[in-house]
Amino acid sequence: MKTVYILRHAKSSWSDPTLADIERPLNKRGKNDAPLMAEIMKRYNYIPDQVYLSPSARTRATIKPLVKKLKIPEDHIHIEYSLYHGYYDDYEAIIQDIDSGVDSILMVGHNPGITYIANSCAGPILDNVPTCGLLVIESSVEDWSKLSFSESTLVNHHFPKMYK
């Protein structure tokens, strides 16, 4: 059994229109939601073996409280440029190269790809995965190279507003 946690970055700021999209920081709500989701992951024992994230400033800021709360070692965190505008196949390509000894991963990226992935799995249909929304996806494969979202199950989802 393999588990994929997918987290959409926390809410970003649009206050500085001169910043490139990849450089946008978190806004106040995002800075509050990221620690909240770290607490939720800890509460449900969603502790990933490895983390893969987009290189954007907002994804890097989103995982800071997760890394601290879940005690994730720095060498288990990997920047993946294809996740910046990543879609279904970009996520699967990264996943399918992961060592089979790893049992769970966290991927941190952006919409619309994350909502598309959620709705590609068996399970509930989600209109939209909001910022800082977390998906919990399980697959019965033993080797990551065989993982396909279309043959996986969305077993749970957690959105910040569910806990406020």
The answer to whether the CB of 22 falls within 8 A of the CB of 55 is yes
CATH of the domain at 34: 3.40.50.1240
Residue 8: the pLDDT is 98
Q: How many domains does the chain have?
A: 1
Token pair, residue 37, equals 């989701």
Q: What is the mean pLDDT of each run of 10 residues along the chain (164 residues)?
A: 98 96 98 98 98 98 98 97 95 97 98 97 96 98 97 98 92
Cα 48 off chain centre by: 11
Peptide bond into 112 cis (omega under 30): yes
> What is the domain range of residue 159?
2-126+135-163
User: Over the stretch 17-62, which tens digit does the pLDDT of each residue have?
Assistant: 999 999 999 999 999 999 999 999 999 999 999 999 999 999 999 9
User: Could you give the CA distance from residue 27 to residue 151 in angstroms, rounded to a whole number?
Assistant: 36
Apex 54 CA angle, 157 and 91, nearest 5: 60
Per the CB < 8 A criterion, the answer to whether 129 and 114 are in contact is yes
Residue 96 burial class via C-beta count within 10 angstroms: exposed 0-12, middle 13-18, buried 19 and up: middle
Rounded CA-CA distance 15/4 in Å is: 33
